[in-house]
């Protein structure tokens, strides 16, 4: 299953599998993926699913760290070993995840690699390079915290976010440049400045909204311990009701980090040529969803309570999709929509 040629497998079936599973492992990403045209859309879809496979292995808080590192190493080897790619789903059958859709994705790893090998060689190389980088970083943190990830410092937090999200920003940027004739070298260089922030800002907001889920379902605490201890709390006390105020204060640093990265994400989107309309919209929608979620995080303590979660309504999601579509062509309007979303729930029609 060399990256230099077709897999000789079932590319049509592989694409059908990918399109069917994406909406079940990431609803928000599935909204955007349909926007991207042709081979670019297929490459981004493939890259996302490969990253999600690695993430599913990392997130199994019940398996030994050595086992997860072994599987991540085998996953990386799949890019060069067709036999290993064909059996990886069976190899990873002991990974325990609550959601059956993630188990189905793991089982279908061979199909995702078949899809990878149906891409243009350069596109497949880009996806492979950055997915390897992501998986190696995940393995580093699994090994560093064998009893469950417990991020200690802000510096360590930023390193983790680079591996799991900054790499995705790089992958998307290289794919955009390769596939879109409207993106010139000067545009590409501007995009590189903020591509990591584009991925990392979204990641920080996901971490903030899923604090309780990560602790209770994945045995992982990503809020830096140093921030909690400064307020008289700790990872052990992050969901304790009598520490809600202190824990809420500890999140302030990451909230500000997310805001900074979102601003850079807007610079990233505005650096995309207006003729690259589908790519601009693809990038804008998750930023709008993230900004709306960050607004709710700042108003809530649900993520610091057992079983708690922070979500935006489906009606607002629909409104944001429409707002994104009508504002994508204008950098000024794009910034206005993001600002309005942060201040108030975005609704169509009269306020």
Task: Give per-residue pLDDT as tens, 28-72.
Answer: 788 888 899 999 999 999 999 999 999 999 999 889 999 999 999
Looking up tokens 């489906």 gives: 314
- Which residues make Cβ contacts (< 8 Å) with residue 328, sequence separation at least 6? 277, 280, 281, 284, 334
Calculate the CA 220 to chain-centre distance: 17
Give the total number of structural domains in the chain: 1
Whole-model pTM?
0.93
Average pLDDT value for the chain: 93
Under-50 pLDDT residues of the chain: 1-9, 350-351
> Does a structural domain hold residue 100?
yes
List residues bridging with 264 in a β-sheet: none
The span from the CA of 255 to the CA of 209, in Å, is: 11
Distance CA 24, CA 102 (A): 8
DSSP labels for 32-74? HHTTS-HHHHHHHHHHHHHHHHHHHHHH-TTS-HHHHHHHHHH
Helix, strand, coil abundance in the chain, percent, nearest 5? 75, 0, 25
| Segments forming the whole domain that contains residue 113 | 1-122
Residues whose CB falls within 8 Å of the CB of residue 189, separated by 6 or more in sequence, listed in order:
none
Assigned domain for 317 exists = no
What is the reported pLDDT for 27? 79
With respect to residue 38, please indicate whether it lies within any of the assigned structural domains. Answer: yes
- The answer as to whether 212 is a domain residue is no
* pLDDT attached to residue 166: 98
Residue 283 lies in a domain: no
Cα–Cα dist 27/15, whole Å: 17
- Residue 294: inside a domain: no
pLDDT at 164: 97
Residue 186 lies in a domain: no
Distance CA 308, CA 286 (A): 22
pLDDT tens digits along 255-283: 999 999 999 999 999 999 999 999 999 99
Is 67 part of a structural domain of the chain? yes
Angle of helix 100-107 relative to helix 11-25, nearest 10 degrees, comes to: 160
């Amino acid at each position: 299953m060399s990256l230099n040629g077709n897999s000789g497998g079932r590319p049509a079936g592989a694409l059908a599998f990918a399109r069917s599973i994406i909406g079940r492992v990431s609803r928000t990403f599935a909204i955007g993926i349909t926007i991207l045209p042709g081979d670019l859309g297929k490459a981004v879809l493939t890259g996302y699913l490969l990253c999600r496979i690695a993430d599913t292995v990392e997130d199994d808080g019940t398996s030994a760290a050595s086992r997860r590192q072994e599987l991540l190493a085998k996953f990386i080897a799949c890019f060069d070993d067709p036999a290993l790619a064909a059996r990886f789903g069976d190899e990873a059958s002991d990974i325990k995840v609550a959601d059956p859709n993630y188990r189905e994705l793991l089982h279908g790893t061979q199909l995702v690699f078949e899809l990878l090998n149906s891409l243009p060689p350069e596109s497949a190389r880009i996806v492979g390079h950055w997915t390897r980088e992501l998986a190696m970083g995940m393995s580093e943190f699994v090994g560093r915290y064998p009893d469950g990830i417990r991020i200690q410092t802000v510096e360590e937090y930023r390193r983790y976010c680079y591996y799991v999200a900054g790499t995705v920003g790089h992958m998307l940027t290289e794919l955009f440049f390769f596939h879109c004739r409207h993106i010139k070298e000067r545009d590409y260089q501007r995009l590189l400045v903020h591509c990591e922030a584009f991925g990392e800002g979204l990641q920080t907001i996901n971490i903030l909204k899923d604090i309780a889920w990560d602790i209770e379902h994945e045995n992982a605490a990503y809020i830096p311990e140093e921030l909690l201890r400064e307020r008289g709390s700790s990872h052990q006390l992050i969901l304790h009701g009598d520490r809600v105020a202190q824990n809420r204060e500890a999140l302030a640093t990451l909230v500000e980090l997310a805001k900074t990265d979102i601003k850079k994400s807007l610079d990233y989107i505005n650096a995309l040529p207006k003729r690259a309309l589908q790519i601009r919209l693809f990038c804008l929608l998750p930023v709008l969803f993230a900004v709306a979620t960050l607004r709710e995080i700042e108003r809530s303590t649900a993520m610091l309570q057992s079983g708690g979660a922070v979500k935006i309504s489906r009606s607002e999601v629909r409104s944001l999709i429409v707002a994104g579509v009508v504002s994508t062509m204008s950098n000024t309007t794009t910034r206005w929509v993001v600002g309005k979303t942060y201040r108030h729930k975005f609704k169509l029609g009269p306020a």
